[in-house]
Chain A
């Protein structure tokens, strides 16, 4: 009887904690899962790499949106949920743009700090998951050719896809060059025209001098400490 009572108490508390997601939220999560898995399906090696993460749960907490997505990867894709009653193995927390950048660029401890991203739980799992997205290699040209081939002849599809691929590759090559030129122009304006910021050539000797001074002060402090210790030892001996 006592055991039965304890079971009943557990069940009551469980009913109070039961999730009640909205229909819209369920729809959005469904769309996210579908789009994500369609995207992963374009990389032929993605699923086999995901297999190594099967049985793990990764929580993505999107700061500012008050949304947590639970990702359950296995060799057939990623199941996405907005409610998960178990414990996530790894929780990655950050703002939407920072999380997006994290999935595309190199991640070091410094950049995570800079972007205000935190990883809790199994850190290795978090890194592995991050690496998985960075290693996605999608041949857009091939996928486009396959899609176009369904609507016309194969040779025309290949030709159009190739031309489209060249435009995309051209853009990809142009984009970093354009970004670099923009950065140089902005730097030139602030350093040479408006004189609001110093030149790199001016800053470097200054930084070097500051480093030298810091080292000298550290050495002096160490010497003074040694003299104080020596002096107090001699006073005690007297």
Chain B
């Protein structure tokens, strides 16, 4: 867990900051990178983030008529795909705490002609403004590590999910192949900030992204956190040798 309740301190990358300050600092990062977020993601992951998101869609089991909540949905990659699958009888809610990211997502979906079955909600994942038992599926892709109180966020997701509904958490995790670690470290702490500097003129934001990946709970810890929040039949799939893991849990 990232929050230390006794001292009201939490992690912001490798820094320790006041819990109340983290949200503002994360917001600064995403305001800074919003416009070039997708370009940067492509460079950061060498395009593989598209594969990880596709895997999430394939495993989602979403069907026409479903209600989907895409949390930390940012630029709307997942929401666009889900909107086509659920059709006009279903509904997709694209939600992000950051209004810059949400604006980029809204513009992108509108430009793609995706209207009618999508709405956009600026919300904090820790206290979701939706009724109980409302969604068939909740996804949060590369967003949970930026949430200050992850346990509260998971509990909130559990509350708004319908019985029988599913949560999918796509997030950077701990590589399962140890030989990969030196390459991965060099890439994360040297190449990534350099690319950030080059493309968004903001090395610090991307240094934070790399550090926040290292501070995020590993596969089994996150699975335990999901179970503690009330999810059942929790499991996870390591993608690209565990660089990313897709966690799945059900509300029963």
A7-B164, A79-B84 as given contacts; A85 in contact with B59, CB under 8 Å? no
Q: Establish whether residues B84 and A8, one from each chain, have CB atoms under 8 Å apart when the complex forms.
A: no
A62-102 toward B: CB 8 Å interface, digit per residue (1/0)? 00000000001011100101111110000000000000000
Binds B, one of A17-25, A120-128, A219-227: A17-25
Contact of A29 among B58, B85, B165, B233 (CB under 8 A): B58
Contact of B51 among A10, A15, A26, A85 (CB under 8 A): A26
Contact of A19 among B58, B162, B165 (CB under 8 A): B58
Binds A, one of B24-32, B60-68, B181-189, B213-221: B60-68
Q: Establish whether residues B50 and A30, one from each chain, have CB atoms under 8 Å apart when the complex forms.
A: yes
Query: How far is the CB of A11 from the nearest CB of chain B, in Å?
Result: 3
Q: Establish whether residues A21 and B113, one from each chain, have CB atoms under 8 Å apart when the complex forms.
A: no
Place the interface of chain B in its size category. Answer: 20 to 34
A12 beta carbon closer than 8 Å to chain B = yes
The answer for the CA separation of A27 and B237 in the assembled complex, in Å, is 15
Q: Establish whether residues A82 and B88, one from each chain, have CB atoms under 8 Å apart when the complex forms.
A: no
A1-45 toward B: CB 8 Å interface, digit per residue (1/0)? 000100110111011011111010111011000000000000000
A55 beta carbon closer than 8 Å to chain B = yes
Contact of A11 among B62, B87, B239, B252 (CB under 8 A): B252
A19-B61, A26-B58, A74-B84 as given contacts; A11 in contact with B112, CB under 8 Å? no
Closest to A27 in B: B51
Contact of B163 among A8, A29, A86 (CB under 8 A): A8
Query: How far is the CB of B238 from the nearest CB of chain A, in Å?
Result: 9
B250 beta carbon closer than 8 Å to chain A = yes
Closest to A30 in B: B54
Q: Establish whether residues A15 and B250, one from each chain, have CB atoms under 8 Å apart when the complex forms.
A: yes
Q: Establish whether residues A72 and B85, one from each chain, have CB atoms under 8 Å apart when the complex forms.
A: yes
Q: Establish whether residues B113 and A18, one from each chain, have CB atoms under 8 Å apart when the complex forms.
A: no
Instruction: Please list the residues of chain A having a beta carbon within 8 angstroms of any beta carbon in chain B.
Output: 4, 7-8, 10-12, 14-15, 17-21, 23, 25-27, 29-30, 55, 72, 74-76, 79, 81-86
Instruction: Please list the residues of chain B having a beta carbon within 8 angstroms of any beta carbon in chain A.
Output: 50-51, 54-55, 57-59, 61-64, 81, 84-85, 87-88, 112-113, 162-166, 233, 237, 239-240, 248, 250-252
- For this complex, 30 residue pairs linking A to B, each with C-beta atoms less than 8 Å apart, are A4-B163, A7-B162, A7-B163, A8-B252, A11-B250, A15-B250, A17-B61, A18-B59, A18-B166, A19-B61, A20-B59, A20-B237, A21-B58, A21-B59, A23-B240, A26-B51, A26-B54, A26-B58, A29-B54, A30-B54, A55-B87, A55-B88, A72-B84, A74-B84, A74-B113, A79-B84, A81-B57, A84-B63, A84-B85, A86-B64
Q: A29-B54, A30-B51 are in contact. List 14 more A-B contacts (CB 8 A).
A: A7-B162, A7-B163, A11-B163, A11-B252, A18-B166, A19-B58, A20-B59, A20-B237, A25-B58, A26-B54, A27-B51, A55-B88, A72-B85, A79-B81
